[in-house]
């Protein structure tokens, strides 16, 4: 995991070089335009001496998707004159709740959060909203519809992501054999959607047996334990579908440590290590959950709420789809470049 984070830091350094060449004002204008906002607002932000103060949190920075999202948010924030304070969820609903309780005692211009589980942050988020701060939900549903006055919800189509990767893996299996699905956190709407998409496709393959669907909560240590047991119990296991790439690559390490090969793996997120794993054949497929768009657009939405007075349900829709492609050998190189510059 530390190597993955080192790789992300190198990507961030490269991104800064590109932004420097383009010019900060031009990049800010381009980012605003890509999010459907008025590029002239970027010019106004450069004239503002006092930065906006934003609080942000995602499920846990141990996950490479979350670490990249933080870097993307900070990159966009710097260009838009926003000072971001990060509250790490640490891949734990209990720990995220504690840190968001602390966050809610302070005043923010806007807040953007990827919650670890639906409904786990309702009380502190209601206090933030009641204090007048717009709250943007990132990637996963924060609460059942109508419970919180959220500014907007920016997320991918998780059912689609689960289904397209499942289709690739099940086809590669030849439509028969044993498969395991290693889930994320069960209270996470993204994990729920990915499981739904996977099972929708699985229903078309009567000769494929789903032998395990335990949750690993995005935690690679839990994945190692689950897959060590799985490979002992099912030595003829043919494939695995994972709710994120970190877990898929963690399982690959277990497979190799047991001297096994040929087990077909598919994941979600299309982080650089997984894109390269598709290129070298370690993984059958991955699909992009656009971390950079979700986190970057959340900053842009918060700025538009504060600086332009955008109102939820009127000036900004309740839901914004952040889409990403299935990764193939044909589009992988271009996709890595977009990630390097925090554009997808």
Nearest to 72 by CA among 104, 27, 106: 27
Nearest to 87 by CA among 75, 105, 78: 105
What is the 3-state secondary structure of 289-337?
Answer: CCHHHHHHHHHHHHHHHHHCCCCECCCECCEEECCCCECCCCCHHHHHH
Q: State residue 22's pLDDT score.
A: 40
Bridge partners, 212 (sequence order): 180
| Cβ neighbours of 142 (radius 10 Å) | 24
Task: Please tell me the distance from the alpha carbon of residue 194 to that of residue 180, in angstroms, as a whole number.
Answer: 14
Task: Please tell me the distance from the alpha carbon of residue 143 to that of residue 140, in angstroms, as a whole number.
Answer: 9
Q: State residue 330's pLDDT score.
A: 84
**In angstroms, what is the C-alpha Rg of the chain?**
20
Q: State residue 39's pLDDT score.
A: 59
Bridge partners, 316 (sequence order): 312
Residue ranges of domains in the chain: 2-156+290-324, 158-280
Q: State residue 329's pLDDT score.
A: 82
DSSP annotation string for 241-308: EESSHHHHHHHHHHHHHTT----EEE-SB--HHHHHHHHHTS-SB-BB--HHHHHHHHHHHHHHHHHS
Extract the tokens encoding 237: 């296991």
Q: State residue 240's pLDDT score.
A: 98
- Which letter does DSSP use for residue 217 in this model? T
Fold of 2-156+290-324: Rossmann fold (3.40.50)
Residues of the chain with pLDDT under 70: 1-49
Q: What is the dihedral of CA 316, 189, 265, 256, to 10 degrees?
A: 120
Classify each residue of 164-201 as buried b or exposed e, where b means 16 or more C-beta atoms within 10 Å of its C-beta. bbbbbbbeebeeebbbbbbbbbebbbbbbbbbebbeeb
Q: What is the pTM of this model?
A: 0.87
- Burial label, 206 (beta-carbon count in 10 A; 0-12, 13-18, 19+): exposed
Q: Which numeric CATH code is attached to 158-280?
A: 3.40.50.2300
Extract the tokens encoding 90: 């640490």
Residue owning tokens 């990637």: 139
């Amino acid at each position: 995991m530390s190597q993955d984070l080192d790789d992300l830091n190198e990507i961030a350094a490269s991104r800064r070089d590109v932004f420097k060449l383009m010019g900060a004002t031009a990049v800010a204008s381009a980012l605003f335009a890509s999010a459907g906002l008025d590029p002239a607002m970027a010019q106004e932000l450069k004239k503002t001496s006092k930065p906006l103060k934003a609080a942000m949190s995602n499920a846990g920075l141990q996950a490479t998707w979350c670490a990249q999202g933080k870097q993307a948010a900070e990159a966009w924030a710097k260009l838009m004159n926003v000072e971001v304070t990060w509250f790490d969820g640490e891949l734990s609903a209990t720990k995220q709740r504690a840190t968001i309780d602390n966050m809610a005692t302070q005043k923010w211009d806007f807040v953007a959060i990827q919650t670890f589980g639906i409904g786990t942050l309702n009380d502190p988020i209601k206090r933030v909203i009641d204090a007048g701060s717009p709250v943007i939900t990132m990637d996963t549903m924060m609460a059942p519809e109508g419970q919180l006055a959220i500014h907007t919800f920016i997320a991918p189509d998780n059912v689609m992501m689960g289904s397209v990767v499942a289709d690739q893996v099940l086809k590669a299996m030849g439509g028969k054999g044993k498969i395991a699905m290693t889930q994320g956190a069960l209270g996470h709407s993204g994990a729920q959607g990915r499981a739904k998409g996977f099972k929708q496709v699985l229903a078309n393959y009567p000769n494929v047996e789903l032998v395990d669907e335990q949750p690993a909560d995005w935690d690679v240590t839990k994945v190692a334990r689950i897959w060590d047991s799985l490979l002992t119990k099912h030595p003829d296991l043919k494939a695995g579908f994972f709710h994120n790439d970190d877990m898929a690559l963690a399982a690959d390490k277990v497979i190799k440590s047991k001297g096994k090969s040929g087990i077909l793996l598919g994941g979600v997120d299309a982080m650089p290590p997984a894109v390269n794993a598709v290129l070298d054949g370690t993984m059958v497929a991955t699909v992009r959950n656009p971390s950079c768009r979700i986190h970057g657009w959340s900053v842009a939405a918060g700025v538009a709420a504060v600086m332009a007075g955008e109102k939820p349900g009127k000036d900004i829709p309740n839901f914004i789809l952040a889409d990403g492609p299935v990764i193939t050998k044909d589009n992988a190189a271009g996709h890595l470049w977009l990630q390097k510059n925090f554009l997808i």
